[in-house]
Structures are given as structure tokens and as C-alpha cells.
Amino acid sequence: MRASLPYLFVALFLFGCSGDIEVDVDDEPVVAPKHIFQNFEAKISYCIGFDNGFTVSQVYNGPNTSNKFFLSDIEQGLVDYLGDEELRVGIFEVDSILNLYLGENGEVDESQVSKADASYAIGLVEAQTLVGSLVGRGIDQTMDIEYLIKGIQDGIYNRQNTLSLGEIRIEVSKYYNEMNLVMGQSFLTENLKNETVSSTESGLQYEVIKEGTGISPNITDTCVVHYTGRFIDGRVFETTVPSGIPAEFAPLGVIPGWKEALLMMKEGESTRFFIPYELAYGETGSGPIEPYSTLVYDFDLLEVRRFNP
């Protein structure tokens, strides 16, 4: 499996497109040979591949991306990249290919780049994104590439004969949930060995980066905060910093880990908090945050505005 390369934010453009649907897959599951899994690694690799492939088919066959790509070429890009085959399009050509093909207002231009090559490039982007996710979870070396690819191919064409989509997503969800739980607990145990890290009675861990000298908030006060949220592998999923516009909220209305964190801070303080899943988004998760996820937040408490009833 190739090393992960930087993610290309093609999706930001694609979801703004519109047009008539060019159907490349059937709406209903089609019959395919059943796969025999010799071990758990083969089964979970297939399930992860199928889930990914099915999602790819939905994204690039939807009303916002219709008639702009060939699903078969997207599939080929995915398969060639993951299988370490010779690539039809060079990795370092992907940016320029997609920039030439995709216009700012949703149109595509085939005068310089063919739809087939653009589709293949999209497949490479999707493959890089998948590999990045597997690397981030630390499971890239445990994947059975043969079954990962088979899953992707079946998922793209909705061939639900080995397992149903529902069964597949249950398997993937269970696998990721258990992984998040174990990895989070291990991370917090190791993290507490750091002399600069402390823990509260609830299990919230923190490391003060810069001491504050101002007032501390009450539960109904408004906190003006810059923050950055990361997964324990370092990936950023949310931040106010690039915009330069801080967030404003009261400790009363946020997740338990945030509430406890804010109430212990002072104006001018910068602290990194390590939040167990129980104090974050729990067993259900939220948006990009999966169930049982331990999270890392950097908080800069800029100002406390007292509540005036």
C-alpha cells in the first residue's frame, strides 16, 4: 500500500455542483460471487473497503456530481493505488489535472483533460484519503489489501451478496468503536506519565501552556475562546484559529469536559486538555467525532464576560 499524501479538498467543490444524473451503478444490490473470509483481518478489510466504495459511488453518482465522472475510472484509480500497480496518471499530476478539469462554478472542461483521466485522478484522491484514515488509526499494516480492494469494488457497484450493507456497517462501526475505546484508554494512561500533565478527579487531563492572571468564569458567564480540537493521532477536526474569530459560549451549555476545563481556567491562560470519551461525545459521537473518541483540545481563554440577568 502506498504512503499517504496530502488530502486534496476536491469535495468542497464537488458538493456545490449540479446537473442531470449519469447513472453508472444500479440502485438495487446486484448478485456477485460470495467471498470466503479465512480470518477476521480479511473480513474487516472487506467491510471497510465496501463501506468506502459504496460511499464513493453515492458521492460521485449523486445530483451534485452527476455527468462529471466515470465511476469505472474512479474505481481503477482506487484499485491501482491500493494495489501498488503502475499508475495511469502520476500522483504529482493530480492537482493540475483536477484544476484544469474542474471550474469554479460547477462546470467541467474536457478540452484539456478527459473525463476518464479526471475520474482516474479522483480515484487516486479517494485512495490517498482512505490510506490516510487507515494510517491515522494505525491499522494500515493489518489490512488485507486483496479483500480491501474486493470490498471497494463490490461497494462501488452495490454488490451485496457476501454481506448486506447493514451488516457491513455494523461490523465497521463495532470495529472502530472498540479501537477508539482501547486506543483512548492507552493514550490517557501513557499521557499521564508526562510530568507536565495533571488529572482531575473526573479523569480530565490537562497541561498548562501559559498561566492566566485574570478572572475565572462562572457557569453562566460567556467565555471568549480560541480553540483547536484534535484526535489523539494529531488530526485537527475543528479550530477557530485560522479565521481569527474566537468562539463565545457559556460553560453551562457545552460538553462536560469543556465545562470542567473552562471553569478551572483564568483569563489569559492557554491550556491543553485531554478529554476522555465519557466527558466528550460519549458512546454516540458527533459529526466527524466517532463514538468512544478521546479528544485533545487547546484552549486560549481570551476574555470572561460576566452574566447579567
Tell me: do 155 and 203 sit in the same domain. no
pLDDT at residue 162 is higher than 50: yes
**In the predicted model, what is the mean pLDDT of residues 183-187?**
95
Based on the fold, state whether residues 145 and 96 are members of the same structural domain: yes
Asked if residue 294 belongs to a domain, the reply is: yes
Q: What is the pLDDT of residue 180?
A: 94
User: Quick one: pLDDT at residue 136?
Assistant: 82
What Å distances lie between residue 185 and 39, 141, 237, 304, CA to CA? 26, 22, 20, 33
Give pLDDT, residue 9.
37
* Assigned domain for 3 exists: no
136 and 33: one domain? yes
Do 14 and 159 sit in the same domain of this protein?
yes
| Range of the structural domain that residue 17 is part of | 10-163
Interval 251-297: pLDDT, tens:
999 999 999 999 999 999 999 999 999 999 999 999 889 999 999 99
Rounded Cα–Cα distance for residues 162 and 150 (Å): 11
Q: What is the mean pLDDT of residues 81-99?
A: 94
Residues 232 and 137: their CA atoms lie apart, in Å, by 10
Read off the pLDDT of each residue in 221-234 and give the average, rounded to a whole number: 95
Asked if the structure places residue 17 within a domain, the reply is yes
Residues 151 and 202 in one domain: no
Task: List, for residues 18-60, the tens digit of each pLDDT value.
Answer: 333 333 444 555 556 789 999 999 999 999 999 999 999 999 9
Residue 176 lies in a domain: no
Question: Please, what is the end-to-end C-alpha distance for the chain in angstroms?
Answer: 59
Asked, for residue 285, whether it belongs to a domain, the answer is yes
Question: Would you say residue 5 lies in a domain?
Answer: no
What residue type is 250 in one-letter code? A
pTM of the model: 0.77
| Range 151-170 average pLDDT | 94
- Predicted confidence band of residue 218 (pLDDT cuts 50, 70, 90): very high
Confidence of residue 309 (pLDDT cuts 50, 70, 90): confident
115-137 helix and 165-191 helix, angle to the nearest 10 degrees? 50
Q: How many domains would you assign to the chain?
A: 2
Average pLDDT over residues 102-118: 89
Q: What pLDDT sits at residue 213? A: 94
Residues in the chain: 309
If asked whether residues 132 and 255 sit together in one domain, one would say: no
236 and 159 share one domain: no
- For residue 204, count other CB atoms closer than 10 A to its CB: 23
Give the model's confidence band at 70: pLDDT under 50 very low, under 70 low, under 90 confident, else very high: very high
pLDDT at 225 over 60: yes
Q: Residue 179's CB: how many other CB atoms inside 10 A? A: 15
**Beta bridge partners of residue 304, listed in sequence order:** 223
CATH code for the domain of 270: 3.10.50.40
Residue finishing a domain among 112, 140, 163: 163
Residue 39 shares a structural domain with residue 87: yes
Q: Tell me the percentage of the chain whose pLDDT exceeds 90.
A: 79
Q: 202 and 159 share a domain?
A: no
| pLDDT at residue 16 tops 70 | no
Same domain, 206 and 269: yes
pLDDT beyond 90 at 157: yes
Q: Which DSSP helix (H) or strand (E) runs through 297?
A: strand 295-305
Q: Mean pLDDT throughout 103-111? A: 84
Last residue of a domain, one of 145, 163, 181: 163
Cell numbers at 254, concatenated: 457545552
Q: Do 142 and 90 share a domain, yes or no?
A: yes
Does 6 have pLDDT greater than 70?
Answer: no
Q: Is the separation of the CB atoms in 232 and 187 below 8 Å?
A: yes
Is 42 within a domain? yes
State mean pLDDT over 83-99. Answer: 94
**Is there a domain that residue 171 lies in?**
no
Same domain as 143, residue 215: no
